[in-house]
Structure 1
Amino acid sequence: MKPAQVNIRNRRATFDYELIDTYTAGLQLHGSEIKSIREGKVSMNDAYCIFKDNELWLKNMHVKEYDLATHWQHDPIRMRKLLLQKKELRKLLAKVKERGFTIVPL
């Protein structure tokens, strides 16, 4: 049986920001983060994206610790790498360098 589709939205971003363009990106996750996200225990209210060493990182996305994890628990608010193609990253970096542009996760 296929797991149910997980849909997590940052509804606040659509009210606080004018959306110019949207991208679909992968997210680099560790161990128990995957199960917590499948259970929907994620908050993206204060999340935003930054560039660090020409890579796009997601900050302040809170993924609750997985209760049944045994050995290793992840850091709930660690920086997570967003996976995009280099062409898309260059385009976003150029936009961010312009005044007034911010990258927010939806």
Structure 2
Amino acid sequence: MASSSASKKHEWLVILPDKEGALEKRMKVRPEHLEKVRPLADAGLVPFGGAFLSELPKEGEQPKLAGSAMIAVGESREEVVEMLKKDVYTREGVWDWDKVQMWPFKTAIRKAL
């Protein structure tokens, strides 16, 4: 029987658009971002995430990254925001926090490509 004081984790769909003109900064700090997000993924706090594009790239073109999208897990919206505010993309001004969107989410299916 579960303890009544046990924490309840919830999924959140998070859309984090990049600030205008932040692509160069994003690419510069991307290795640090990926290094720090992997332990969060391993801990089940970010079971899905990646960059979204402004358009599909033509063959031979670099993708035009426009922001990040993820499923984040936490007890509350505030807990997830606190986790994301520690990310290098926040610290270096890549994500546009005035445009961030978050919704409670319930995964039905999840399968890697």
Same fold (TM over 0.5): no
- Larger relative contact order (CA 8 Å, sep ≥ 6): 2
Q: Which has the higher strand share?
A: 2
Q: Which has the higher helix share?
A: 2
TM-score under structure 1 normalisation?
A: 0.26
TM-score under structure 2 normalisation?
A: 0.25
